[in-house]
Structure 1
Amino acid sequence: MLALKQLSANYDGAIVALDEVDVSCGAGQIVALLGANGAGKTTLLKAVAGMLPFDRGDIVAGDILFEDVSLLRRHPADISRRGIALVQDGRQCFRQLTVAENLQAASFAHSKGASERLELVQSYFPFLREMMDRKAGLLSGGQLQMLVIGMAIMCNPRLLMLDEPSLGLSPVMVQSVFDAIERMHRELKMTIVVAEQTVPRLLKIASDAYVLSRGRIVMHAPPSEMTEEELQKVYLN
């Protein structure tokens, strides 16, 4: 479904963020993208979503193919319409709008079937049903994370990318978020890429894993074949 081929990206025309990265993701997979802070995980996801120019970044070499169609130089709105959704770190939403208004706004580009998807979101995150009239800015960090994942579902994606969804959450909330991820994958047959520093639960549900370090892929293997010792060496180096 997704293929990054020898992808290289810079910031400000000088800072190398990705260096000849090759990543592939088959339809229906959960792929783990691992690495320490600054490894290039966020840059990779933003490159796929067409968001790099907003951060003064640019793809300087290689290609990104989604179902054999190049995404290079395409606007994020076009990429979204093709079926790709990115949940960025920072839990970005409209903090002054209510939960209901945020979910409605997320469905504008994919209005067909929005009512059914709203029911789906509420089934994954039942608390949202009780807080539809509450402003997003009043939600806790874990609740916000669930809201922005719900907003991504309202976009009707076939490929969902999550950038460190566990960041800053309590263990209970991390469990809830990954329960929802696993359920989406199982019930919706959704293809999912999750970028994290290290989350044992992710390695248990992922079918493939890549480890980034300083903008390069330094490990690629099924999670079951990655040892904690190998990961520690990558992170410490």
Structure 2
Amino acid sequence: MPAPFSLPPNLGDYLAGSTVYIFWDTFNYAMEPVTLTGLAVTDIEVYKNGSMTQRSSDNGYTLLDTDGIDIDEVTGCHGISIDLSDNSDSGFYARGNDYMVMVDAITIDGISTRFCAATFSIENRAGRNGVGDYQVTLTIRTTGGTPVSGVSVWVNSSNVRSGSVAGTKVTDTNGQVVFNLEYTTYYIFCNLSGYTFASASFTSAEGSVSFTKDIATAVSAGSSAYYADSFLTRAIADVRE
């Protein structure tokens, strides 16, 4: 009988800073539940997108129920968790990316094995940041036309900064975010420490779904605008995220 293969389960799209829980079962050739041995946090490897470079730190990995093996004293049921807020490998966990988790070098029924345990993403699916059927692309640039990355962007159907109709997204290296929206008028709100942002809005319609807004202005660390944007509006964005 040829050896079977399996595809890792996709656990879904997670908010940045949340915790991923992964569970799996182990069986012998008779399909009876059996324990495993050798599970340690050093056996947990996380990969980002298509890169074959593993996350460089084991911090943030937890073996559930002490050792991750036979949880709640149930033979053959095992579990781990991954804390996405752990930044020991700076910037590894970030919005807009996909991840794969491998469990390596464990022993099941006397056989050494490894397997791809799960895949997941961090705020990288349109469904989390969309209320409509139409993809709308926003490009945030400086008043001089330079794209700004790392900007938290949210939109509202009314000109109220503390509200959001489609969650918060963060601009990529091209200064872009994509929301799934309806055809109507939206107001844009932004936050990034060290910048202020002018008021802006757009009206999406058939054939008009890409908008470039030159609204960002860099401010010095000593200005009052810098501190207002850093603390007040950042707090609002953090709550929303």
Alignment TM-score > 0.5, same fold: no
- Higher-RCO chain (CA-CA 8 Å, sequence separation at least 6): 1
State TM-score, norm by structure 2. Answer: 0.32
- If each structure's strand is expressed as a fraction of its own residues, which one has the higher value? 2
Alignment TM-score, normalising by the size of structure 1: 0.32
Higher helix share: 1
